């Protein structure tokens, strides 16, 4: 493996952190944004919702772009759209614009940022597969996967602290511009692949569609059994609902909590706690999945999902006046379990499909689809001004908790066989046997022992893996 693989990981993390900030930027400052620009609360909600909507068609196009242009060139296109989105959004804050004109420019900037998000997000498991071996693949996926939630947390923390929403959009544009050079550090693939899976050509999005419909030829590596198709369908549904619940709560955090006496700053801190605790937990647990629990990805999901579903349902009773400590505790539980499962689910989906780009695209598209549904449904369930307290979101929390708890129960139908890892392990074992058979018994001199040790540590070459 090559040391520059970590440079690419850091670059992808930075790009995803910045991309994630725009999704919830207006959530903690929804009321301040309404006061400054004259928009309605529903219009402010759509500034986050439109990112989810535009993600859906773009997620299907991105794997095709990777296959045609390569990872690096596709990222260059994303960088240009990234820059345009930042400054078009800021242009909407210019003095003299009408209420409708300023909103039009800001939402166009948000839509463009939604176009960019799948470009930097869908590539994650494919990059791990190309650059990392079996001992580090899940860790690499974890680091890059949690970058977008980190961006969501950072966005929730920064936006209430800057001052006015107008000044906040200028700061956001500067952050976007400063992150652009990172695209130059993302490379397509290493000269020598580290595993058997890394030698395979990237399957198309259409091949996954054929496999899910049972029309992929049996002799193709992307062929899926009925059980694998069911596993991937359940993973897509559960992943979408769980990520959507976090996104919806982040977008609506101020509206959920302010009717019960919590400030904008406190609402932002609670949303950030959810994500930051999850990030720390994931950073601790991901290496364990590479080294200890390597064959127990499905079991992990089955253990953590009921805990997570119960925590979301508990919010129905926890959101009331004077329960700051209880809410922070629930945010910590939700964040720790949700983000621990995030890289696990992405890797398990690739295990079922053997199609990293397309499976990742479908998972994230599902999360954005359900994100739109959650935000619209919960906005419609907002109580009226005559309720106690006025404009409370208690019905929305009941909907969210019940939906999540009902969905996570499906994980017990997952088998979760890790077919890609099994194939990689078999190929690696055969290569090591071949190397040992070709190597004469070494003499006992230290120099010879060192030479043999170096030979044993050799990684796959393209010719060896192609032959396997």
Distance CA 1, CA 195 (A): 10
* Percentage with pLDDT > 70 across the chain: 85
Q: Which residue ranges form the domains of the chain, and what is each CATH number?
A: 4-417 (1.20.1250.20), 427-463 (no CATH)
Question: pLDDT at position 257, please?
Answer: 84
Question: Residue 350 in contact with residue 361, Cβ under 8 Å?
Answer: no
Distance CA 41, CA 61 (A): 32
Distance CA 44, CA 41 (A): 5
Question: pLDDT at position 108, please?
Answer: 93
Question: Residue 298 in contact with residue 415, Cβ under 8 Å?
Answer: yes
Question: pLDDT at position 28, please?
Answer: 75
pLDDT digits over 250-298, tens only?
778 778 888 888 877 787 778 778 777 887 887 787 777 767 666 667 8
pTM for this prediction: 0.75
For residue 316, count other CB atoms closer than 10 A to its CB. Answer: 17
431 confidence band (pLDDT: 50, 70, 90): low
Question: pLDDT at position 234, please?
Answer: 92
With b meaning 16 or more CB within 10 Å and e meaning fewer, what string describes 366-379?
Answer: bbbbbbbbbbeebb
Question: pLDDT at position 387, please?
Answer: 82
Q: Tally helices (H) and strands (E) across the chain.
A: 20, 0
pLDDT at 463 over 50: no
pLDDT digits over 168-184, tens only?
899 999 999 999 899 99
For residue 454, count other CB atoms closer than 10 A to its CB. Answer: 9
Backbone torsion region of residue 439, taken as left when φ is above 0, otherwise alpha when ψ lies between -120 and 50, otherwise beta: beta
Computed from CA positions of residues 38, 43, 46, 50, in that sequence, does the dihedral angle turn out positive or negative? negative
Distance CA 181, CA 69 (A): 19
pLDDT at 209 over 50: yes
Strand blocks (E) in 330-442: none
pLDDT digits over 218-233, tens only?
877 778 888 889 989 9
End-to-end CA distance of the chain: 19
Question: pLDDT at position 177, please?
Answer: 92
Question: pLDDT at position 325, please?
Answer: 86
pLDDT at 441 over 80: no
Average of per-residue pLDDT values in the chain: 81
| Tokens matching residue 349 | 């989906």
Backbone torsion region of residue 214, taken as left when φ is above 0, otherwise alpha when ψ lies between -120 and 50, otherwise beta: left
pLDDT digits over 2-47, tens only?
788 889 889 999 999 998 888 778 877 877 888 888 888 888 888 8
pLDDT at 52 over 90: no
Question: pLDDT at position 238, please?
Answer: 92
Question: pLDDT at position 421, please?
Answer: 59
Distance CA 324, CA 194 (A): 48
- 177-195 mean pLDDT: 84
Distance CA 245, CA 372 (A): 10
Question: pLDDT at position 455, please?
Answer: 41
Cα→Cα distances 27→42, 155, 238, Å = 11, 9, 24
pLDDT at 430 over 70: no
Question: pLDDT at position 84, please?
Answer: 92
pLDDT at 468 over 50: no
pLDDT at 104 over 80: yes
pLDDT at 87 over 90: yes
423 confidence band (pLDDT: 50, 70, 90): low
pLDDT digits over 328-365, tens only?
899 889 888 888 888 888 888 888 888 877 888 888 88
Of 46-60, 254-268, 308-322, which range is least confident? 254-268
């Amino acid at each position: 493996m090559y040391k520059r693989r970590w440079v690419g990981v850091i670059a992808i993390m930075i790009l995803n952190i910045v991309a994630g900030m725009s999704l919830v930027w207006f959530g903690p400052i929804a009321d301040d944004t309404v006061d400054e620009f004259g928009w309605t609360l529903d219009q402010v909600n759509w500034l986050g919702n439109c990112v989810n909507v535009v993600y859906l068609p773009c997620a299907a196009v991105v794997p095709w772009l990777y296959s045609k242009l390569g990872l690096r060139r596709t990222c260059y296109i994303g960088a240009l759209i990234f820059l345009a989105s930042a400054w078009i959004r800021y242009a909407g804050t210019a003095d003299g614009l009408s209420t409708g004109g300023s909103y039009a420019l800001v939402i166009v900037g948000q839509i463009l940022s939604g176009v960019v998000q799948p470009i930097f997000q869908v590539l994650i498991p494919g990059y791990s597969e190309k650059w990392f071996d079996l001992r580090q693949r899940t860790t690499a996926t974890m680091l890059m996967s949690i970058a977008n939630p980190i961006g969501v947390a950072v966005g929730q923390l920064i936006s209430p602290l800057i001052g006015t929403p107008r000044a906040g959009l200028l700061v956001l544009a500067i952050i976007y511009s400063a992150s652009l050079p990172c695209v130059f550090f993302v490379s397509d693939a290493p000269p020598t692949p580290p595993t058997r899976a890394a030698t395979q050509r990237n399957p198309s999005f259409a091949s996954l569609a054929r496999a899910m419909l049972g029309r992929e030829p049996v002799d193709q590596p992307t062929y899926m059994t009925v059980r694998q198709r069911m596993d991937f369908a359940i993973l897509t549904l559960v992943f979408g609902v769980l990520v959507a619940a976090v996104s919806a709560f982040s977008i609506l955090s101020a509206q959920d909590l302010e009717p019960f006496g919590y400030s904008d700053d406190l609402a932002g801190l609670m949303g950030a706690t959810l994500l930051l605790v999850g990030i720390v937990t994931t950073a601790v647990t991901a290496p364990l999945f590479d080294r200890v629990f390597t064959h127990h990805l499905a079991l992990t999901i089955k253990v953590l999902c009921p805990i997570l579903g119960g925590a979301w349902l508990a919010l129905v009773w926890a959101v009331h006046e004077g329960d700051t400590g209880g809410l922070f505790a629930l945010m910590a539980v939700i964040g720790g379990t949700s983000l621990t499962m995030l890289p696990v689910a992405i890797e398990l989906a690739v295990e079922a499909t053997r199609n990293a780009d397309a499976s990742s695209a479908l998972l994230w598209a599902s999360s954005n689809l359900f994100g739109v549904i959650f935000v619209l449904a919960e906005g419609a369930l907002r109580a009226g001004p005559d309720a106690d307290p006025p404009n409370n979101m208690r019905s929305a929390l009941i909907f969210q908790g019940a939906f999540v708890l009902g969905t996570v129960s499906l994980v017990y139908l997952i088998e979760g066989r890790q077919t890609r890892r099994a194939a990689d392990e078999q190929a690696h074992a055969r290569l090591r046997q071949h190397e040992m058979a070709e190597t004469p018994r070494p003499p006992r001199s230290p120099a010879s022992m060192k030479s043999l040790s170096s030979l044993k540590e050799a990684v796959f070459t393209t010719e060896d893996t192609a032959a396997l």
